[in-house]
Amino acid sequence: AGNLKKTDMIFRLSPLSYLVVCPGAEPEQLRQRFKGIYVQIRTLVLDYELRVHTVTQLPLQLNRVWSDLL
């Protein structure tokens, strides 16, 4: 949780998949903040992938965000 700020929102999508919404953060800031992630799990995971999508226009089009993250 050291990587998270008070304004961040985290959603658990599956046992090993999370969506983190970080209002106002730039992509490079996110890459630095989440350069190393530590989570407590029962199985060993050796690698993770960080995908960043920047929302620049409202209203938010969730389908577009989701397709960019996949």
List per-residue pLDDT tens for the chain, 70 residues long. 567 888 888 888 887 788 888 888 888 888 888 887 766 667 776 667 778 877 777 787 778 777 877 7
- Is 31 within 8 Å of 52 (Cβ atoms)? yes
Rounded Cα distance, 65 and 18, in Å: 14
Q: Which amino acid is at 47?
A: D
Q: pTM for the complete prediction?
A: 0.64
- Is 40 within 8 Å of 56 (Cβ atoms)? no
